[in-house]
Amino acid sequence: NAGVTQTPKFQVLKTGQSMTLQCAQDMNHNSMYWYRQDPGMGLRLIYYSASEGTTDKGEVPNGYNVSRLNKREFSLRLESAAPSQTSVYFCASSPDQTSGIKETQYFGPGTRLLVL
């Protein structure tokens, strides 16, 4: 049982390049999330998918797109990378976003992205 996996672990891009961050979970969770973590700031939600076939914007969606490929996989795409997108990106999953008061999220190990 691997939990939440993310690829790649590290990536260096030049401004304007594109890339896709991959995330997969094997816990049969309905909901998946993408966050970014910057120094001195809390994790900020980029996009989330409450269930297979749905995606919604979070707090900081500009410059990103997502695809919920199936129940297991949720990818994050940077179409034209900018230095401001240098960050650590975390994927997370949970049984059901709205299932209520006891639910926690399970996090992947993160992808460290540097945009030059």
Partner 1 sequence: KQEVTQIPAALSVPEGENLVLNCSFTDSAIYNLQWFRQDPGKGLTSLLLIQSSQREQTSGRLNASLDKSSGRSTLYIAASQPGDSATYLCAVKPLDYKLSFGAGTTVTVRA
Residues that bind partner 1 (CB under 8 A): 4, 40-45, 48, 58-59, 90, 92, 97-98, 100-102, 104-110
| Residue with Cβ nearer partner 1 (14 or 42) | 42
Which SS3 state, helix, strand or coil, does residue 28 take?
A: coil
Return the structure tokens found at 39: 């120094």
| Residue with Cβ nearer partner 1 (75 or 93) | 93
Q: How far is the CB of 45 from partner 1 (least distance, A)?
A: 6
| Residue with Cβ nearer partner 1 (41 or 53) | 41
Q: How far is the CB of 87 from partner 1 (least distance, A)?
A: 14
Distance separating alpha carbons of residues 27 and 31, to the nearest angstrom: 11
* Residue of 21, 9, 7 whose CA lies nearest to 81: 21
Taken as a whole, the chain contains a residue count of 116
Q: How far is the CB of 15 from partner 1 (least distance, A)?
A: 25
Distance separating alpha carbons of residues 6 and 75, to the nearest angstrom: 9
